[in-house]
Amino acid sequence: MKEQLQTFLEIATEAALAGGTELQNYLGKIEDSIVEKGRPGDLVTAADKASEAIILDIFSRHLPQHAILSEESGELGNQNNKYLWAIDPLDGTTNFAHQYPAFAVSIGLLIDGIPAVGVIYDPFHNELFRAAKDLGATCDKQSLMPETYPHKIRVSQNSELSKSLLVTGFAYDRRETSDNNYAEFCHFTHLTQGVRRSGSASLDLAYVACGRVDGYWERGISPWDMAAGIIILRESGGKVTAYDNSPLNISSGRILATNGYIHNAVSQELMNTPPLSTWGKH
């Protein structure tokens, strides 16, 4: 099984690097191709489509029998297939459109619904995060000498919420719903050393995995946003659950991911965050 997972990991790596090269080619050149997909701020560009096209071509050549769930093309193949690839060809499209350097290609394999292989490639910083079940997690800085990278990554060992740095995000429908994460963002800003918002869920998970931040939570995200990051984080020693610490349903749209040491504390505070409408009232 490990040899098979290693093969899948290499194919996903080839696809992620190819997709990332397309993004590099389009960066700063897409002003006329940016459109909204229906909700304000939910963008798609020529770069998304070009990256996805080359990724799908690689999978059609190497693993034509596998199913795919991709952000732009949707469901391809039998979604009940044992092997389902969740692909985001450009996670952080809004950032990319503004040339803000926080975007990535995210490719994750679900085997019987469980994340088993993950590759996240940040083409701006040339960082490649990879993992497969029981094979560990690594970060490869593509521009450095091969004897230096890839190196194993591990989560931070911080065990105090008050000393932690967290990261989160806001869903595209945040303007229309009160279930929008604003209260939690404010609540954790008071409880921690800080909360960041990168605009790329896959990179958020990768950064927890390599210890740059201690925890991450978000709602309103899709399987292709988190499939790769989940296995990378788990293989780096982290913990991933639902908000209430129950097993994660990857289709729920919500995720809590931490270094493990602060997980219970973050979960408890998420469940007990007072509604924003009550803030400032006595």
Kindly provide the residue ranges of all beta strands, DSSP E only, lying in the chain, ordered along the sequence: 35-36, 43-44, 67-70, 74-76, 83-91, 104-111, 114-122, 127-132, 136-141, 151-152, 165-168, 194-197, 215-219, 239-241, 254-258
Task: Report pLDDT for 29.
Answer: 77
- Residue 282 inside a domain? The answer is no
Its domain, for residue 203, covers: 161-275
Verify that 146 and 44 share a domain, yes or no: yes
Number of domains in the chain: 2
Verify that 30 and 146 share a domain, yes or no: yes
Task: Report pLDDT for 143.
Answer: 55
Which neighbouring-strand residues pair with 83? 111
Looking at residue 231, which CATH number applies to its domain? 3.40.190.80
Q: Using the 8-state DSSP alphabet, how is residue 280 labeled? A: T
Task: Report pLDDT for 211.
Answer: 97
Q: Which residues of the chain have pLDDT under 70?
A: 30-44, 142-150, 172-179, 277, 279-282
Task: Report pLDDT for 185.
Answer: 94
Burial track 215-239 (b if 16+ CB lie within 10 A, e otherwise): bbbbbbbbbbbbbbbbbbbbbbbbb
Task: Report pLDDT for 30.
Answer: 65
Task: Answer positive or negative: Cα dihedral of 214, 121, 154, 4.
Answer: positive
Give residue-wise pLDDT tens across range 151-204: 899 999 999 999 999 999 987 665 666 668 898 999 999 999 999 999 999 999
Verify that 142 and 217 share a domain, yes or no: no
Verify that 121 and 200 share a domain, yes or no: no
Verify that 48 and 169 share a domain, yes or no: no
- Residue 208 inside a domain? The answer is yes
Domain final residue, candidates 102, 130, 152 = 152
Looking at residue 12, which CATH number applies to its domain? 3.30.540.10
- Residue 280 inside a domain? The answer is no
